[in-house]
Structure 1
Amino acid sequence: MKQIYNETEKIRRERLGGMKPMRWTLIEAQRLDYFVECEFDDERCVSRLFLCHPESIRMLSAWHFVILIDSTYKTNKYKQPLVQLIGVSPVKNHFNIGFALVSDETKETYAWVLMQLKHLLGDRTPDAFVTDKEGGLGVSLRQIFPSSAHLLCVWHMKRNIEAKMLSFRISRDSGEWFIEGPWGRVLNANTEAWFQRCWRDLQNGHWGYKRKVDGLPQK
């Protein structure tokens, strides 16, 4: 395995030709006719980089109606957020529109990413964006694409609900098990009006009330 790693590193150095990986990426992307936009900081290091393959641009021009945006954090060697933009075809297949390597996740940075997307779209406007409710991204979407709907990703919602479920406080009173806190009020709501009131209390962090649980609490 060590010999394989050494050969792989040797091939990588030969491909770079003595250049830094980021500089090689920019030159290679331009050679392959990618859409490339980047900004540099005061030390001439890349602070924002947006890349989009020419085939992705063609697909985006045809299927721009729904766009998913998500970012990963500290999963690359630069430990920087990577924002990925995904399109959806009429047969519900997904395709990669492009991605941006950025230095932070502020609304200004997201606005920069969205402006690159807007440039690619031209006079076309997506019907909807799907995100994980990232605050800075939401603000920028409302500013740059005010007529597009902003939807929440079901997968992220499911993950958030699972995380909240783990925070349930379960207690026992008079031989019966109860879920405490605002989740208990929401689960026990028996009318639409009461549900809305309990839901607002949950969002505002108000605690109290109990929800009866049948049987023993499970782990």
Structure 2
Amino acid sequence: CRLFGISRQTYYQRLHAEVNRAARHAVMLAMVTQVRLAQPRIGTRKLYFLLQKRFEQAGLKVGRDGLFEALRRAHMLVRPRHSYRKTTNSKHHLHKHPNLIKHAAKPSMAEQLWVADITYIDTWETTGYLSLITDAHSRRIMGFHLHSSLHTDGVLKALRMALQQRQTDRQLVHHSDRGIQYCAQAYQRVQQRYGMVCSMTDGYDCYQNALAERVNGILKTELLTTRPRNLAQAAIMIRQAVQTYN
């Protein structure tokens, strides 16, 4: 202490503060680990949203940046996965509807706007395709179906599941890309029967259907953490993942 020009009291105060900080971090990381038992790849921003009240109840003063730093030091940050496979075939002769939401205001309540998309699901045996219908206001997945091909039948099953959960009769816009499945007459007939207004992207910009793409990413990168053996096992995992997400 004499060598560095500090008092013994200052040294022990600093040491005590370090011990207390280590103890607080241990409690915080234990809470994070508990959440990640169910969602191993959940990101830090969502962790902070889920755990903020628990941090306060435990007397932990943790901000979002502080949580990032603590997880970085503990090597617990989740690295994003980047992959892409084309599931949209928009080069067809079927009618393509205009983009009705490009300059529209955000929905103010549920069942004003549903967004639809298809993503691939790899298994050890084959590749499946997951169709999703998401409510743009609540962000709830209303309908989903895993199918073995890109035929319209599988996409229709997701739409019918969503319609079974519909609670109101207010005007509902259905937004999707210009894929042949959504433009097919069978799909369009179901939309017309239930009074849905069809909207589609007007180009190849994925940001025109950003919410649907985002939900796809959450399911695949945060909740489906292991590759299923086959489509039957994948269907079970997807059902559990949707329940967790919702």
The answer to whether the superposition gives a TM-score over 0.5 is: no
What TM-score, normalized by structure 2, do the two folds share? 0.33
Structure richer in strand, relative to its length: 1
What TM-score, normalized by structure 1, do the two folds share? 0.37
